[in-house]
């Protein structure tokens, strides 16, 4: 079987077996990193659940835990985005071998192995690099999981200051309840709005960027 259309020698049985073992190894690594993604998401859900329990334990309880848990959520999001970049490398390699090696073998013979697929895979092993930027990884994780976590956090915080210790009677009372020590309520709410808009903007940017890359992918042999 010729691995390319540029004169590369056909793969022999031993090389095909080695490539099959390599594929299994990449699948295993991809699974490990996928599990690590689930772990950080679980940490975010658990910490948010603890903050909700504390905040809504009584009408007099402070909404501050819902503010502070945002720091942990951001930390977990950054950690998960970093792990996603590793996962994406493994996933891209698996997909690469499926598309350019497995699929042609399973076809009726009409599908030829693309020229240069072995060289591109070898180059990725020789000079490993991330296939997506950190900002893209953050945006993807927000869209997949953290949108709902951030939404619940925001709605829970607004609901807490709106109903506890009693229903709001005026906008001034809202600002008074939102205040944290010497920090005025308008500043706290403004920071919260910026917090939500920033992550939302990154998520929307990554969505548009992914669509643009899918439409205008210049390199048909590009990985990632």
Q: Give the pLDDT confidence of 41-96 residue by residue, as tens digits.
A: 999 999 999 999 999 999 888 899 999 999 999 999 999 999 999 999 999 999 88
Q: Structural domain tally of the chain?
A: 1
Query: Looking at the domain assignment, is residue 5 inside a domain?
Result: no
Query: Looking at the domain assignment, is residue 224 inside a domain?
Result: no
pTM listed for this prediction: 0.83
Query: Looking at the domain assignment, is residue 1 inside a domain?
Result: no
What span, in angstroms and rounded, lies between the C-alpha atoms of 108 and 101? Answer: 14
55 DSSP 8-state letter? H
What span, in angstroms and rounded, lies between the C-alpha atoms of 26 and 31? Answer: 8
Query: Looking at the domain assignment, is residue 7 inside a domain?
Result: no
Query: Looking at the domain assignment, is residue 8 inside a domain?
Result: no
pLDDT in tens, 127-137: 989 988 999 99
What span, in angstroms and rounded, lies between the C-alpha atoms of 97 and 88? Answer: 14
| 3-class DSSP string for 19-46 | HHHHHHHHHHHHHHHHHHHHHHHHHHHH
pLDDT in tens, 3-33: 444 445 577 788 888 888 999 999 999 999 9
Quickly count: other Cβ atoms within 10 Å of residue 53's Cβ.
11
Residues composing the chain: 224
Query: Looking at the domain assignment, is residue 129 inside a domain?
Result: yes
Q: Which residue has the tokens 């390199």?
A: 219
Average of pLDDT values for 96-125? 75
Query: Looking at the domain assignment, is residue 88 inside a domain?
Result: yes
Determine the structural domain holding residue 46 and report its residue range: 13-215
Query: Looking at the domain assignment, is residue 57 inside a domain?
Result: yes
> In the prediction, which pLDDT does 104 show?
77
Average of pLDDT values for 111-120? 68
Burial class (CB in 10 A: 0-12, 13-18, 19+), 156: middle
59 DSSP 8-state letter? T
pLDDT in tens, 148-202: 999 999 999 999 999 988 888 888 888 888 888 889 989 999 999 999 999 999 9
What span, in angstroms and rounded, lies between the C-alpha atoms of 157 and 109? Answer: 60
Quote the Cα angle for 168-174-176, to 5°: 120
* Helix, strand, coil fractions of the chain, as percent rounded to 5: 75, 0, 25
């Amino acid at each position: 079987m010729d691995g390319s259309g540029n004169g590369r020698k056909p793969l022999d049985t031993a090389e095909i077996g080695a490539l099959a073992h390599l594929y299994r190894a990449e699948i295993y690594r991809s699974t490990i990193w996928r599990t690590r993604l689930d772990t950080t998401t679980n940490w975010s859900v658990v910490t948010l659940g603890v903050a909700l329990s504390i905040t809504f334990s009584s009408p007099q309880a402070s909404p501050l835990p819902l503010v502070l848990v945002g720091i942990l959520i951001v930390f977990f999001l950054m950690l998960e985005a970093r792990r996603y970049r590793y996962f994406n490398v493994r996933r891209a390699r698996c997909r690469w071998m499926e598309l350019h090696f497995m699929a042609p073998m399973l076809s009726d013979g009409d599908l030829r192995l693309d020229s240069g697929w072995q060289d591109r895979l070898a180059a990725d092993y020789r000079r490993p690099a991330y296939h997506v930027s950190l900002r893209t990884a953050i945006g993807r994780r927000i869209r997949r999981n953290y949108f709902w976590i951030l939404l619940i956090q925001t709605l829970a915080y607004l609901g807490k200051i709106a109903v506890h210790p009693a229903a709001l009677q005026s906008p001034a009372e809202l600002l008074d309840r939102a205040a944290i020590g010497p920090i005025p309520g308008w500043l706290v709410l403004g920071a919260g709005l910026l917090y939500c808009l920033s992550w939302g903007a990154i998520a929307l940017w990554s969505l548009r960027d992914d669509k643009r890359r899918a439409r205008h992918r210049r390199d048909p042999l590009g990985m990632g």
